[in-house]
Structure 1
């Protein structure tokens, strides 16, 4: 592993609540730095990870991705730096988000 990659892994580990498994999830999607997360959509990341692995992934990974993008964009409210603060408010709202992501992908 190069020193640059090790440094970037360390950078992702700065995301509150992110451990080695969460960093590996992002790495598997080709994400190695906070800068890369700034413009990304957490729901799309979650769907891509499920597609890549070919299995359902626990939704807490999605909540972690939401928190990670918030943090990468400079978010620093302590309550929002906990993955469980990013749970779905309701399933219908999440379904609408997923539908809009899927529609955008087809365009």
Structure 2
């Protein structure tokens, strides 16, 4: 879940039910990354924590949509999520068209410095 606009089209209850169903079905046999892209960092952290508690392996995460990011802000966003939910693996969803951020080379150079 995470690349078809679910953050804007599903209710929280629908999203939680979907993730719960997947986690129960796969029973840890394969890693499961669920999308937690949202409009602000607080909501991303809340969703990521809840999905990790449900049994997800990590998150596929883009920067908050509809907000034009600069490099320091984008790096800080991922740092904040990584520090708030250290048990979550983060797959950075780099979609420049959707997120209005180009994910330039300096972004990728800075990201490994704050991962576990």
Q: TM-score, structure 1 length as denominator?
A: 0.30
Q: TM-score, structure 2 length as denominator?
A: 0.28
Q: Between Structure 1 and Structure 2, which shows a larger proportion of strand residues? A: 2
Q: Between Structure 1 and Structure 2, which shows a larger proportion of helix residues? A: 1
